[in-house]
Amino acid sequence: MRGFAWFLALTLTLSCSTPLLAQDEPKAEFIVEKMAYKLARGVTNVATSIVELPKQSYLTVRDRGDVGYVIGPLKGIGMTLYRAFIGATEAVFFAVPQPGYYDPMIDPDFVWKGWDAPERTTVTESGETTPAAQGDVQ
């Protein structure tokens, strides 16, 4: 009976641990590629951070109207400093797989993304959401 208990315990242990041993480690080329992309993204964000000033001015005027002429440049200065800081952080710590697995620390990950107008949706009486037409005002 004691031998059967050992056999059962061994069988149970091996059957539970086999899937853990079957997982592949990421290939070195993939890791180096992600690290290089993180370094390039960081250096690019430091170099292009000044573009946040006109970007935030434009976006704030578009979304808020005339008050954007005052708030936009202030927001642009703050976002310029923020993007430069995040870019420097990513460039210095490019070998560290944080956050996520070499994911960007800022959204959008580059300054030239995010200039599009936000997509508006309309809720119908039945509760369905559909994209609003360009002329619709909400």
pLDDT > 70? residue 131 = no
Rounded to two decimals, the pTM is 0.67
Q: Is residue 20 included in any domain, yes or no? A: no
| Domain extent for 44 | 26-113
The residue among 38 and 101 whose pLDDT is bigger is 38
Q: Tens digits of per-residue pLDDT, 28-49?
A: 888 899 999 999 999 999 999 9
Q: Is residue 122 included in any domain, yes or no? A: no
Residue 56 near residue 111 (C-beta atoms within 8 A): no
75: how many CB neighbours lie within 10 A of its CB? Answer: 18
Is residue 138 very low, low, confident or very high in pLDDT (cuts 50, 70, 90)? very low
Mean pLDDT calculated for residue range 15-31? 71
Q: Is residue 21 included in any domain, yes or no? A: no
Q: Is residue 74 included in any domain, yes or no? A: yes
Q: Is residue 9 included in any domain, yes or no? A: no
Is residue 123 very low, low, confident or very high in pLDDT (cuts 50, 70, 90)? confident
Q: Is residue 127 included in any domain, yes or no? A: no
Q: Is residue 3 included in any domain, yes or no? A: no
